[in-house]
Amino acid sequence: MEIKEKKMEKRQVAYINYKGSYEEVPVLMGEIVGFLMAKGLQMMGPPFGVYYNSPEEVPVEKLQYEVGMPFAGDAKEEGRVKIKTEPEKLVLSTVYEGPYSGCGMAIGALAEYAYKNGYEIIGPPVETYISDPNETPENELITEMCFPILKK
């Protein structure tokens, strides 16, 4: 698995912060895409998830995460869909191919690499969903995993 340091550009995102099962991710993504399409806004990249805890730490009903989509244009928050601008940040990144159930191992490898190579992790992991699970076989899904970091 190749791990590299890179810069994530500043971006405007529409997102939903959610507490509960990961099984809701497709519904939440659909709500965000529907919001952007209804407003005539241009999507500027693949969808992503930010995970504040994990099933190893808390029961499913207490999982806290955010799903979102970068976009261009002007929009106001509506219902559960919120808007924010994320600043440019330095991240450690790796690309994982396979089912989403294996993403945790890749995140663990990223965290271990950061620890062994003098990086400080300064935020939760971000998963960017490069391939569409509706069009891609599960074992061929491409997901980029990142941790925001500081060099020590």
Return the pLDDT at 68.
Answer: 98
**Which tens digit of pLDDT belongs to each residue from 63-80?**
999 999 999 999 999 999
Domains of the chain by residue range: 3-151
Which residues lie across from 94 on neighbouring strands?
3, 145
Report the C-alpha gap between 99 and 1 in whole angstroms: 15
CATH topology of domain 3-151: Multidrug-efflux Transporter 1 Regulator Bmrr; Chain A (3.20.80)
pTM of the predicted structure, to 2 decimals:
0.91
Return all residues near 16 (Cβ < 8 A) that are at least 6 apart: 28, 31, 32, 66, 67, 68, 80, 81, 82
Say yes or no to pLDDT of 33 above 90.
yes
Does residue 36 contact residue 69 with C-beta atoms inside 8 Å?
A: yes
Banded pLDDT at 5 (limits 50, 70, 90): very high
